[in-house]
Amino acid sequence: MANVVVVGAQWGDEGKGKIVDWLSERADVIARFQGGHNAGHTLVIDGKVYKLNALPSGVVRGGKLSVIGNGVVLDPWHLLGEIETIRAQGVEISPDVLMIAENTPLILPIHGELDRAREEAASKGTKIGTTGRGIGPAYEDKVGRRSVRVADLADEATLEARVDRALQHHDPLRRGLGIEPIDRDELLAKLRAIAPGILAYAAPVWKVLNEKRKAGKRILFEGAQGALLDIDFGTYPFVTSSNVIAGQAATGVGIGPGSIDYVLGIVKAYTTRVGEGPFPAELEDEDGQRLGERGHEFGTVTGRKRRCGWFDAVLVRQTCATSGMNGIAFTKLDVLDGFETLKICVAYDLDGERLEYLPTAADSQARCTPIYEEMPGWSQSTEGARSWADLPAEAIKYVRRVEELIDCPVALLSTSPEREDTILVTDPFAD
Ligand code: GDP
Residues 49 and 144 in one domain: no
User: Residues 133, 183: contact at Cβ < 8 Å?
Assistant: no
- Confirm whether residue 369 is marked as ligand binding: no
Residues 155 and 239 in one domain: no
Q: Where does a domain end: 226, 244, 262? A: 262
CATH number at residue 235: 3.40.440.10
What does the mean pLDDT of the chain come to?
94
Give the range of the structural domain holding residue 136, as residue numbers without chain letter: 109-198
What is the CA(296)–ligand 1 centre distance, in A?
9
User: What percentage of the chain has pLDDT greater than the value 70?
Assistant: 97
Residues 297 and 416 in one domain: yes
- Confirm whether residue 360 is marked as ligand binding: no
Reply yes or no on whether the pLDDT at 219 is more than 70.
Answer: yes
Using most ligand atoms within 8 A of CB, pick from 7, 16, 18 the residue to mutate for ligand 1: 18
What is the CA(345)–ligand 1 centre distance, in A?
22
The CA distance from 59 to 41, in Å, is 12
The CA distance from 198 to 150, in Å, is 8
Strands 369-376 and 353-355: unpaired
pLDDT digits (tens, 9 = 90+) for 53-112: 999 988 988 889 999 999 999 999 999 999 999 999 999 999 999 999 999 999 999 999
Could you tell me which of 132, 18, 129 has the C-alpha nearest to residue 78? Answer: 132
Reply yes or no on whether the pLDDT at 363 is more than 70.
Answer: yes
Residues 244 and 364 in one domain: no
Which alpha helices (DSSP H) does 200-300 contain, by range?
205-214, 248-251, 286-294
Residues 241 and 385 in one domain: no
Residue nearest to ligand 1 atom 27, measured at CA: 417
What integer pLDDT is reported at residue 302 of this predicted model? Answer: 67
Q: Which amino acid is at 28?
A: D
The angle subtended at Cα 150 by Cα 148 and Cα 152, nearest 5°, is 60
Residues 275 and 404 in one domain: yes
Report the catalytic residues. 13, 41, 142
Q: Please list, in sequence order, all residues whose beta carbon lies within 8 angstroms of the beta carbon of residue 375, skipping any fewer than 6 positions away.
A: 341, 342, 343, 344, 394, 397, 398, 401
The CA distance from 115 to 135, in Å, is 8
Reply yes or no on whether the pLDDT at 281 is more than 90.
Answer: yes
Using most ligand atoms within 8 A of CB, pick from 264, 332, 419 the residue to mutate for ligand 1: 332
CATH number at residue 115: 1.10.300.10
Q: For residue 240, report the phi and psi dihedrals to the nearest 5 degrees.
A: -90, 175
What integer pLDDT is reported at residue 313 of this predicted model? Answer: 98
185 belongs to a structural domain: yes
Cβ < 6 Å from ligand 1: which residues?
8, 12-18, 40-42, 44, 300, 331-332, 334-335, 414-417
- Band of residue 427 on the pLDDT scale cut at 50, 70, 90: very high
Residues 291 and 183 in one domain: no
End-to-end alpha carbon distance in the chain:
5
What integer pLDDT is reported at residue 126 of this predicted model? Answer: 66
What is the CA(272)–ligand 1 centre distance, in A?
12
Q: Where does a domain end: 198, 230, 248? A: 198
For residues 246 and 21, the model is more confident at 246
User: Residues 9, 266: contact at Cβ < 8 Å?
Assistant: yes
Beta bridge partners of 45: 48
Residues 292 and 239 in one domain: no
- Band of residue 125 on the pLDDT scale cut at 50, 70, 90: low
As a whole number of Å, the CA-based R_g of the chain is 22
Reply yes or no on whether the pLDDT at 235 is more than 80.
Answer: yes
Reply yes or no on whether the pLDDT at 295 is more than 70.
Answer: yes
Q: What is the dihedral of CA 250, 252, 200, 152, to 10 degrees?
A: 130
Element (H, E) at 348: strand 341-350
User: What percentage of the chain has pLDDT greater than the value 90?
Assistant: 84
Buried b (16+ CB within 10 A) or exposed e, 250-263: bebbbbeeebbbbb
* CA dihedral for 345, 349, 350, 355, sign (positive or negative): positive
